[in-house]
């Protein structure tokens, strides 16, 4: 567990020592150093994550099949990466390191758009970094790209531009298309124009990425009623910031685009809570819930401004994140797949 807690401690100390105000303050080099640590910890991990074996088998398969055969498996960007690394006769960790770099880039870019980047990144450590990026490689890359797109939206980018990010993310994991709907009514465009852009984007992505595998997706997620044990926890983790945002919305003093963006995410979190009770497949809900994780970073990193001022607010958020990491590492049903942490540098 030591590496996980060292990562947490680095950003917790940075959060608590950070001066008041917005942005990185006087610590940009330390923040960049922290990002490099994340890339190395995620990308050079060894036998860490519940899907480690499955990803190794996909990598081995890429060395035995032609590129067109790999493309038939879906998630073409990831399989292209696997196949290319095999053709160059590079080891498996190169794939993970490239994926970790993409994920961390999106994570850091998104965190830097928040009032307190240190606190935003700290909030991501216990689950988004440790569990998702070290366990669900393809979806982690997709989420990283989506976060880079969300950062652009917060700076005023159009829905059409965000759709480009979604299209790239969907090449790594098809579930990324759900993010497009969350941004449907965000931006300066007329709402009708936004909806037309979204509809066109969804149709294009469906035709190019989802159509052939939709029946399989429905069979696995709904007909067989697969269950994801952590779905309830992951949805609940988004309910906390969603409730805070809806109750204290005015206090956040966000731009119109950002306010609408996190309103959409908050509403989606509440809908997933209802869906979790009503729908037979919690796995489908669980996969969608992963795309709501940026809501935690955006909302909880602003607690010192909207709920509890100054250092007391930061300490509250650090304690909340610490509790999540402690509970998951010690009591989660599948945490044994992440323990002990091993790395290619010393494995």
* 27-41 confidence digits (pLDDT tens): 688 999 999 999 999
Whether 138 contacts 170, CB under 8 Å = no
The whole-chain average pLDDT of the chain stands at 86
Task: Pick the range with the lowest mean pLDDT from 45-54, 212-221, 262-271.
Answer: 212-221
C-alpha neighbours within 13 Å on the C-beta side of residue 76: 14
pLDDT at 223 > cutoff 50: no
Query: Tokens 């796995």 appear where?
Result: 283
Task: Pick the range with the lowest mean pLDDT from 1-10, 75-84, 170-179, 198-207.
Answer: 198-207
C-alpha neighbours within 13 Å on the C-beta side of residue 48: 27
Q: What is the mean pLDDT of residues 222-242?
A: 71
More confident residue, 294 or 276: 294
Q: What is the mean pLDDT of residues 94-113?
A: 97
Query: Residue 182's pLDDT is what?
Result: 84
More confident residue, 221 or 43: 43
Q: How confident is the model at residue 225 (pLDDT cuts 50, 70, 90)?
A: very low
Cis ω before 340 (30° cut-off from 0): yes
Q: What is the pLDDT of residues 315-331, one digit of tens each?
A: 999 999 999 999 999 99
Q: What CA–CA distance (Å, rounded) separates 244 from 172?
A: 32
Q: What is the mean pLDDT of residues 70-96?
A: 94
Query: Residue 314's pLDDT is what?
Result: 93
Q: What CA–CA distance (Å, rounded) separates 203 from 209?
A: 10
Q: What is the mean pLDDT of residues 136-163?
A: 92
Q: What is the pTM of this model?
A: 0.90
3-state secondary structure of 343: strand
Query: Residue 217's pLDDT is what?
Result: 46
Q: How confident is the model at residue 333 (pLDDT cuts 50, 70, 90)?
A: confident
Q: What is the mean pLDDT of residues 229-238?
A: 80
Q: Is 45 exposed, middle or buried (0-12, 13-18, 19+ CB in 10 A)?
A: buried
- As a whole-number percent, the residues of the chain with pLDDT over 90 amount to 60
More confident residue, 20 or 214: 20
Structure tokens at 219: 């069979």
More confident residue, 59 or 219: 59
Q: What is the pLDDT of residues 167-202, one digit of tens each?
A: 999 999 988 888 888 887 675 556 566 666 666 656
């Amino acid at each position: 567990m030591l590496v996980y807690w060292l990562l947490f401690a680095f950003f917790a100390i940075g959060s608590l020592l950070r001066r008041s105000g917005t942005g990185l303050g006087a610590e940009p080099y330390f923040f960049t150093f922290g990002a490099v640590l994340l890339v190395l910890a995620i990308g050079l991990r060894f036998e860490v994550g519940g899907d480690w074996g499955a990803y190794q088998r996909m990598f081995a398969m890429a060395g035995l099949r032609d590129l067109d055969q790999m493309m038939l498996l879906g998630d073409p960007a990831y399989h292209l990466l696997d196949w290319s690394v095999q053709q160059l006769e590079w080891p498996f960790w190169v794939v993970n390191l490239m994926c970790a770099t993409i994920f961390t880039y999106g994570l850091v870019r998104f965190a830097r758009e928040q009032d307190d980047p240190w606190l935003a990144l700290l909030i991501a450590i216990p689950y988004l970094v440790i569990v998702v990026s070290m366990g669900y490689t393809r979806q982690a890359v997709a989420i990283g790209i989506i976060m880079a797109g969300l950062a652009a939206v917060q700076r005023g980018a159009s829905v059409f531009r965000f759709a480009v990010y979604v299209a790239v993310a969907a090449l790594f994991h098809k579930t990324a298309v759900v993010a497009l709907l969350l941004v449907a009514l965000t931006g300066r465009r007329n709402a009708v124009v936004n909806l037309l852009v979204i509809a066109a984007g969804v149709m294009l992505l469906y035709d190019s990425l989802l159509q052939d595998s939709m029946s399989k997706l429905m069979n696995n997620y709904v007909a067989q009623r697969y269950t994801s044990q952590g779905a309830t926890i992951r949805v609940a983790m988004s309910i906390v910031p969603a409730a805070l945002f809806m109750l204290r919305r005015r206090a956040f003093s966000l731009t119109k685009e950002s306010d609408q963006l996190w309103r959409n995410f908050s509403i989606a979190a509440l809908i997933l809570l209802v869906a979790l009770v009503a729908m037979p497949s919690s796995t489908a809900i669980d996969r969608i819930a992963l795309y709501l994780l940026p809501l935690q970073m955006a909302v909880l990193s602003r607690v010192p401004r909207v709920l509890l001022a100054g250092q007391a607010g930061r300490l509250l958020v650090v304690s909340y994140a610490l509790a999540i990491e402690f509970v998951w590492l010690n009591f989660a049903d599948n945490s044994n797949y992440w323990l002990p942490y091993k790395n290619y540098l010393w494995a």
